[in-house]
Amino acid sequence: QKEVEQDPGPLSVPEGAIVSLNCTYSNSAFQYFMWYRQYSRKGPELLMYTYSSGNKEDGRFTAQVDKSSKYISLFIRDSQPSDSATYLCALALGGNNRLAFGKGNQVVVIP
């Protein structure tokens, strides 16, 4: 079983729709949870970072963590064409900062 499971998609949505992405993980020792956005031919850009169960909002983005179910989600409200990218979840145990990545979810927002 892989450390982190993320359905690679792709996911196409109309502009203005809510995008819902999620990852599951198997190791309950993960303490830090991140979402990165990666545009084509670019490096990943940190979107959200959290370390506790519950919701964290930043503008149109909401990260949700459920440690009991080992499940994390990213929601994008009022999606825009500029949100079209690949979204990667990443988890860390802490300490050595090594990240375990999901496969990435390609999102296309259609104008």
Partner 1 sequence: GAVVSQHPSWVICKSGTSVKIECRSLDFQATTMFWYRQFPKQSLMLMATSNEGSKATYEQGVEKDKFLINHASLTLSTLTVTSAHPEDSSFYICSASRTSGRSGETQYFGPGTRLLVL
- Provide the binding-site residues for partner 1, judged by CB under 8 A: 8, 31-32, 34, 36, 41-46, 49, 51, 88, 92, 94-99, 101-104, 106
Paired sense of beta strands 71-76 and 19-25, if any? antiparallel
**Cβ closest to partner 1, residue 51 vs residue 61:** 51
**14 contacts: CB under 8 Å, gap ≥ 6:** 109, 110
- Closest approach, Cβ 87 to partner 1, in A, equals 11
**Cβ closest to partner 1, residue 17 vs residue 67:** 67
**Cβ closest to partner 1, residue 18 vs residue 46:** 46
Cα-based distances in Å from 50 to 9, 23, 47, 82? 24, 14, 10, 24
